[in-house]
Amino acid sequence: MSDDHVSLVQTTADDRDRLESMARELIERQLAACVQISGPITSHYEWEGQSTVSAEWLLVAKTSAEGVDGVVAALRATHPYQLPEILWQTVSASAEYAAWVRGRLATS
């Protein structure tokens, strides 16, 4: 993979304050270079046999491919859900932005 990629790790939760705390931890531990929280969003899903609609917030953390495991572990350790949605993908980025992300991480 060339150096012009970043990895996005995302999760959702119904507690914005908890996500804010998780975002601060990711930045302070240098696991993510940038974390954005957006919402509320409306989520529709089935859980334990019940059709559910809930207001949630979306957290997206920017890291390197090597940093994904650390971000995922940190999210799992503090997530308020029994089964959190944690998704990640690697995306193309400008070389300058990708270099900035790598420079902000403890793994760089």
4-20 pLDDT per residue, tens: 999 999 999 999 999 99
Whether residue 37 is predicted with pLDDT greater than 60 in this model: the reply is: yes
Name the nearest CA neighbour of 37 among 7, 12, 4, 72.
12
Q: Name the pTM for this structure.
A: 0.94
Whether residue 99 is predicted with pLDDT greater than 80 in this model: the reply is: yes
Whether residue 108 is predicted with pLDDT greater than 70 in this model: the reply is: no
| CA dist 18 → 3, 14, 24 (Å) | 32, 9, 10
Q: Does domain 5-103 have CATH number 3.30.70.120?
A: yes
CA count, 13 A, side-chain hemisphere, 53: 1
Percentage of the chain modeled with pLDDT above 90: 95
Mark out the alpha helices in 1-106 (DSSP H runs): 16-28, 68-78, 95-103
Which band of pLDDT confidence, cut at 50, 70 and 90, is reported for residue 3? confident
The whole-angstrom separation of Cα 80 and Cα 97 is: 31
